[in-house]
């Protein structure tokens, strides 16, 4: 059982069509800033990433 409700594809399409060019530009700026911060924190080509082990619940 999923912890969330899966929406119908038509609902998703309606949601995505509501985005304007301005929304896309804002998202592009957020992604660029996130990547810039990640690289300045040491992420990038050749960086070793250690993910925490998942714990049982």
Overall pTM surpassing 0.75 (yes/no): no
CA separation for the pair 43, 45 (Å, rounded): 7
**DSSP-assigned letter for residue 18:** T
Q: Using one digit for the tens of pLDDT, what is the confidence trace for 3-49?
A: 888 767 677 788 888 889 999 999 999 999 999 998 898 888 887 77
């Amino acid at each position: 059982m999923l912890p969330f409700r899966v929406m119908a594809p038509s609902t998703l399409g309606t949601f995505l069509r509501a985005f304007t060019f301005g929304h896309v530009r804002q998202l592009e700026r957020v992604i660029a800033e996130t990547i810039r911060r990640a690289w300045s924190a040491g992420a990038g080509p050749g960086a070793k990433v250690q993910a925490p082990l998942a714990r049982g619940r």
